[in-house]
Amino acid sequence: MSSCEEFKGVLVLEDGSIFEGKGLGAEGEAFGEVVFNTSMTGYQEALTDPSYHGQILLMTYPLQGNYGVNPEFTQSERIWAKGFIAMRSSESFSRYLKENGVPGVQLPQTREVTLKIRERGTMMGAVLAFRTKRFFRFSPEDILEQILRTPTPGELNLVKETSTVREVIYPSRKSSPRIVLWDFGVKRSILELLRPLGEVIRVPWDTPPERIVELNPNLIVLSNGPGDPQHPALEPAVKGIRWLGEEGYPLFGICLGHQLLSLAFGGNTYKLRFGHRGSNHPVEETATGRVFITSQNHGYATYEPSLPEDVHVTHRNLNDSTVEGIAAEGLKVRGLQFHPEGGPGPHDTRDIFPRIVRWALEGGGG
């Protein structure tokens, strides 16, 4: 291959839009749901967040890779995003993507793409990154046809692919409390904030509730994860969550875990037009009026009118008034749609983890 060949990159959207730029990362093609993240930092955390499985990630901040790559920032063992889009990228970051087999494109029109997604809603798309001679083997018509044939993340059971496949025990100097982490695609930063608080037992996504009871937990944490909370494969988990809650076990859900709690206790969920992905989302705690700046990454939300009278909204998004937290009256059930751990993002809400553990140990009231 001649070194003088141009490395071309192209983004194709399901509405037929084509955006040309420079190639980034690995040579190849990636098909997935195109989403944007407004964070100014955190590109590495976002790429390795299992919740981005099945998606092509566009970062709206114009420069990516400007502070390097650090293993401490990764949120899992691999990159989960299918492809990457940036206005500009450092060479070292492009090498990081290449080493991990992720194709990308540098586009001068990232703002135009973002506005298109905001106006039309999230779309499926494809990223192509090839040297000149190979690139011209592809026709836009063929790519568009393949985009339209590609299943959306909501149609797939992506939780199965991101969850642990076996139980993992993380011992602690503290003999109690015992925290069962129900893994639907958990981020490493959640695990790191739970481990100092007690013994953590991480269990697979399809663990029967009877097995969780055998583990004798003081608190059950339902993790974040990818895909549609109403996917049929998650129905047994939803039923198990309700049973555990009615049996009196303290439950705390984050992101997808929050949505599963909403479904389990009588609510419904729906797909947002373009989702919430970024590190600057203001959320109000309804009881106090206190406002937090939060990290978010979700494409689905709880449909507030569907919630029964005994499920209360505890937190609300100040940008669009969507539900950001719930609590079930008379039960030890709490959920948060945003990411209290940050990773990336502000640490304003990290104290929620020790507070939730105390809440569980004190009987789950208040």
Active site residues: 255, 339, 341
Instruction: Indicate the SS3 state at residue 90.
Output: coil
Question: Is the distance from CB of 124 to CB of 14 less than 8 angstroms?
Answer: yes
10 Å Cβ neighbour count for 268? 15
Give every CB contact of residue 230 below 8 A, 6+ residues apart in sequence. Answer: 263, 269
Question: Is the distance from CB of 156 to CB of 227 less than 8 angstroms?
Answer: yes
H or E element, residue 180: strand 178-182
Burial class (CB in 10 A: 0-12, 13-18, 19+), 288: exposed
Q: List the structure tokens of 127.
A: 């990223």
Rounded distance, CA 148 to CA 217, Å? 45
Rounded distance, CA 230 to CA 214, Å? 27
Give every CB contact of residue 195 below 8 A, 6+ residues apart in sequence. Answer: 170, 172
**Half-sphere CA count of 117, side-chain side, radius 13 A:** 29
Q: List the structure tokens of 208.
A: 């029967």
Give every CB contact of residue 114 below 8 A, 6+ residues apart in sequence. Answer: 36, 58, 60
Residue 326 vs residues 40, 313, 329, 347: alpha-carbon distances, Å: 29, 5, 10, 21
DSSP class of 297: E
Question: Is the distance from CB of 285 to CB of 315 less than 8 angstroms?
Answer: yes
10 Å Cβ neighbour count for 154? 17
Phi, psi dihedral angles at 218 (to 5 degrees): -90, -25
